[in-house]
Structures are given as structure tokens and as C-alpha cells.
């Protein structure tokens, strides 16, 4: 059986996930990267022939491969482990973004009550916060430099 494969990673090593032919129309399955707010960065696998309906998130696709014997033994264990690790990492990153957005919304919130903050708004607020911190550090450095210069001028007299 000839199948293409997609590479994933598990603890720094490559894990191959076979790209099979669609069980409905025999067209090659391809993988894509989601860019929606709720699943940003998630991999999904689908048949390029849209009407046939073969579509799975990465972990569910790997389970499908195991159930239909495209993956066996250590390959199956490694692929499941890599997919679970990747999903957990993406969920942690999404929770962290939500936490930071919640903090930013609590500090500076001019939105109407009940309207959710978009990802772009949260990213803009975080970027603004980083820039403000950089300016404050520069001001503090300038102040310390002036203090040192004033101290040196006093010692010279």
C-alpha cells in the first residue's frame, strides 16, 4: 500500500502520519492548519473532494488510521502521543491568551457590557502593554543615568 505522510513531532523526533486515500471517493486526503479563533493552529485532515465529507481533526484522524490498520504498534503510539501533546499545547496557549485578554479587559475595558474581546483586540492590548513597559524601562534608565551624572558632578566639586 503506497501512502504519503505528514510529519509531526513528539519530544523532538519526527512522527509520520500517513495521508491515505479517502474511503468514499479514493481521492488523496490532505492536511490543513486551522486559523479559526477557537481552533487556531489545529491540524485537520480532509478529502479534497468536498462533497464526500471525509474530515477529521488530527487526533481523530489518527484514531481512524489505527482503527483501520493504517498505523500499528509503535507508529500508532507515537502518532497518538504527538497529536495529544500538540493538542494540549495548543489548548494551553489558547487558555493563556484568554487569561491575558481577561486581565487586559479588566484593566482597560471600554467595550459595551457583554461583548467579547476579539483575538485582534487582545493582541493589540498586549502589544500596547509591551510597548508601555519598554518606554517605562527607557525612562527609568535615563533617570538612573541622570542621577549617576549628578552624583559624579557633585563628587568633582
pLDDT of residue 82: 86
Q: What HEC string does the chain produce?
A: CCCEEEEEEECCEEEEEEECECCCCCCEEEEEECCCCCCCCCEEEEECCHHHCCEEEHHHHHHHHHHCCCCCHHHHHHHHHHHHHHHHHHHHHHHHHHHHHHHHHHHCCCCCCCCCCCHHHHHHHHHHHHHHHHHHHHHHHHHHHHHHHHHHHHHHC
pLDDT digits (tens, 9 = 90+) for 86-121: 888 888 888 888 788 777 666 655 555 556 777 787
The ranges assigned to domains in the chain are: 4-94, 118-157
pLDDT value of residue 114:
57
Residue 1 has a pLDDT of: 38
- In this model, does residue 45 exceed pLDDT 90? yes
Amino acid at each position: 500500500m503506497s501512502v504519503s505522510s505528514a510529519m509531526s513531532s513528539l519530544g523532538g523526533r519526527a512522527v509520520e502520519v500517513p495521508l491515505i486515500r479517502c474511503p468514499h471517493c479514493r481521492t488523496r486526503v490532505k492536511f490543513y492548519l486551522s486559523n479559526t479563533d477557537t481552533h487556531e493552529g489545529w491540524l485537520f485532515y480532509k478529502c479534497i473532494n468536498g462533497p464526500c465529507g471525509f474530515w477529521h481533526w488530527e487526533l481523530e484522524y489518527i484514531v481512524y488510521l489505527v482503527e483501520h490498520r493504517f498505523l500499528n504498534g509503535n507508529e500508532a503510539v507515537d502518532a497518538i502521543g504527538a497529536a495529544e501533546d500538540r493538542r494540549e499545547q495548543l489548548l494551553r496557549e489558547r487558555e493563556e491568551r484568554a487569561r491575558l485578554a481577561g486581565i487586559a479587559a479588566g484593566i482597560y475595558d471600554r467595550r459595551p457590557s457583554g461583548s467579547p474581546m476579539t483575538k485582534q483586540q487582545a493582541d493589540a492590548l498586549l502589544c500596547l502593554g509591551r510597548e508601555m513597559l519598554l518606554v517605562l524601562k527607557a525612562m527609568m534608565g535615563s533617570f538612573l543615568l541622570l542621577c549617576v551624572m549628578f552624583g559624579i558632578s557633585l563628587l568633582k566639586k
